[in-house]
């Protein structure tokens, strides 16, 4: 699985909450602290492998016992919100 | 292609009335002899720019064709609003909000809500207690100053598609006695909650919620940071869920009191 961020109009990190606010055309979203870290690791122009993302994320935030499943669920949620696009390998 | 020059007789054949909206002087050019001019002046009494002026207006509006003066004046309010908002795009944070100010301190509270969910009704009621700034749009400049837009209140008329344009003077609404500064924001949710509830929103949530009730936010440089600065200069942003106007007034009174204290500190 590969993932990339959907382009935004603007991004604001609210450091006191660890949250990130995204502005799209006509809507805005608040990302949780973990989702904010995930989003900051993604590019809008280049896909990256989810497995690599999980490995890098593990160095930055505490991960649950099954990190692949947890990140997969988070990415699915972000995809539902239109924040990322997830595609199959190849 | 450059804009075609306006023939001089086109201006001479009009009767111009100027109003101020969000810090912009908007010139409305009625056809000479239009029967709507007098009503327009009465409805826009708080915003009229009187006296001769050599300065060019910030925007020009020509009333759209309409089947009646009532329809023309209804549409004209929208035309003036759009002209002012477009003129200030990229300069102001502009929120879909009613604006009310403490008459002594000038501290203003923006009551943010989508169309048809209580801005005008709230302004008509609360403007008896606090100074009326707008029932439509609150504009905030980078210093935190609120640029008033004291348009006529656009009041729904049962069975009609047009809204009555009612002067704040004829409703007895208070006038600001000094310039206003944004002191707090309230997101209105008229969902029947009784008694009203009031919750202060986290900064990130406030920014996201307010972004969706703004005009031309993306035209500002660093739009979310601009919105964040507008909020940071206030006592905060609350969500108020309510049913009755009396409950809303009590909730806004608490927010206004906190905003006045914050502004004085």
Q: What is the pLDDT of residue B142?
A: 95
pLDDT at B129: 97
pLDDT band at B8 (very low <50, low <70, confident <90, very high): very low
pTM: 0.91
The per-residue pLDDT for B54 is: 77
- With an 8 Å Cβ cutoff, are B204 and A29 in contact? no
Lowest mean pLDDT among A31-35, B10-14, B95-99, B174-178: B10-14
B88 token code pair: 């200030």
Among residues B257, B238, B254, the alpha carbon closest in space to that of B97 is found at B238
Mean per-residue pLDDT, B7-19 = 73
Tens digit of each residue's pLDDT (9 = 90 or more) over A38-74: 999 999 999 999 999 999 999 999 998 999 999 999 9
Would you say B202 and B82 are in contact if contact means Cβ atoms under 8 Å apart?
Answer: no
Model pLDDT, residue B170: 96
Q: Contacts of residue B217 in chain A, CB cutoff 8 Å?
A: 23
Output the average pLDDT for chain A: 93
User: Mean of the pLDDT values across residues B147-172?
Assistant: 94
Q: Residue A27: pLDDT above 90?
A: yes
The tens digit of pLDDT for each residue in B160-188 reads 999 999 999 999 999 999 999 999 999 99
- Pick from A23, A24, A81 the residue to mutate for testing the B interface (most B CBs within 10 Å): A23
Interface of B with A in 227-246 (CB under 8 A): 228
Q: How many CB atoms lie within 10 A of CB B229?
A: 15
Residue B6 has pLDDT above 80, yes or no: no
B118: confidence class by pLDDT, cuts 50, 70, 90: confident
Task: State yes or no: ipTM above 0.85.
Answer: yes
pLDDT tens string B46-87: 999 987 777 889 999 999 999 999 999 999 999 999 999 999
pLDDT in tens, B223-260: 999 999 999 999 999 999 999 999 999 999 999 999 99
Contact: B207, A11; criterion CB under 8 Å: no
Instruction: Say if the Cβ atoms of A9 and B228 lie within 8 Å.
Output: no
Q: Are B169 and B46 in contact (CB under 8 A)?
A: yes
pLDDT > 80? residue B4: no
Look at A14 and B203 and tell me if their CB atoms are within 8 Å.
Answer: yes
- The residue among B157, B239, B235 whose CA lies nearest residue B190 is B239
CB contact under 8 A, A21 and B209: no
Other beta carbons within 10 angstroms of residue B228's beta carbon come to 20
Does residue B2 register a pLDDT over 80? no
Q: Does residue A22 or residue B5 have the better pLDDT?
A: A22
For residue B13, the model assigns a pLDDT of 87
Please state, for a pLDDT cut of 90, what percent of chain B lies above it: 89
pLDDT at position B114 is 86
Whether residue B183 contacts residue B259, with contact meaning beta carbons closer than 8 Å, is answered with: yes
Of B204, B205, B222, the CB nearest to A10: B222
Residues 6+ apart with CB under 8 A from B57: B18, B25, B26, B27
Looking at residue B204, its pLDDT comes to 96
Determine what percent of chain B is predicted with pLDDT higher than 70: 95
**Residue A1 and residue A89 in contact, taking contact as beta carbons nearer than 8 Å:** yes
Cβ atoms < 10 Å from Cβ of B114: 11
Across all residues in chain B, what is the average pLDDT? 93
């Amino acid at each position: 699985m590969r993932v990339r961020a959907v382009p935004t109009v603007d991004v604001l990190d609210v450091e006191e909450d660890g949250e990130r606010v995204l502005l799209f055309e006509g809507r805005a979203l608040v990302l949780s602290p973990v989702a904010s870290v995930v989003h900051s690791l993604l590019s809008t122009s280049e896909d990256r492998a989810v497995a690599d993302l999980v490995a890098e994320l593990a160095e930055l935030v505490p991960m649950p016992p099954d990190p692949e499943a947890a990140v997969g669920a988070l990415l699915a949620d972000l995809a539902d919100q239109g924040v990322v696009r997830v595609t199959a390998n190849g | 292609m450059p804009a075609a020059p306006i023939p001089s007789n086109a201006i001479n054949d009009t009767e111009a009335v100027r109003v101020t909206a969000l810090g912009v002087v908007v010139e409305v050019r009625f056809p000479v002899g239009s029967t709507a001019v007098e009503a327009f002046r009465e409805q826009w009494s708080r915003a009229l720019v009187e006296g001769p002026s050599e300065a060019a207006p910030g925007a020009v509006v020509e009333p759209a064709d309409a089947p009646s003066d009532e329809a023309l004046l209804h549409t004209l309010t929208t035309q003036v609003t759009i002209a002012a908002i477009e003129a200030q795009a990229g300069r102001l944070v502009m929120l879909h909000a009613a604006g009310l100010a403490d008459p002594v301190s000038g501290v203003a509270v923006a009551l943010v809500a989508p169309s048809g969910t209580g801005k005008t009704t709230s302004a008509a009621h609360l403007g008896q207690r606090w100074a009326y700034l707008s029932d439509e749009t609150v504009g905030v400049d980078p210093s935190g100053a609120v640029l008033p837009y004291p348009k006529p209140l656009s009041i729904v008329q049962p069975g009609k598609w047009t809204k009555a344009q009612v002067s704040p003077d004829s409703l007895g609404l208070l006038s600001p006695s000094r310039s206003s500064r944004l002191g707090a924001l309230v997101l209105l949710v008229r969902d029947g909650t009784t008694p009203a509830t009031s919750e202060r929103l986290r900064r990130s949530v406030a920014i996201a919620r307010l972004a969706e009730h703004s005009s031309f936010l993306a035209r500002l440089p660093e739009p979310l940071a601009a919105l964040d600065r507008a909020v940071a200069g206030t006592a905060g942003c609350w969500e108020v869920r309510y049913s009755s106007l009396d409950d809303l007034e009590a909730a806004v009174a608490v927010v206004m009191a906190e905003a006045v204290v914050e502004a004085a500190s």
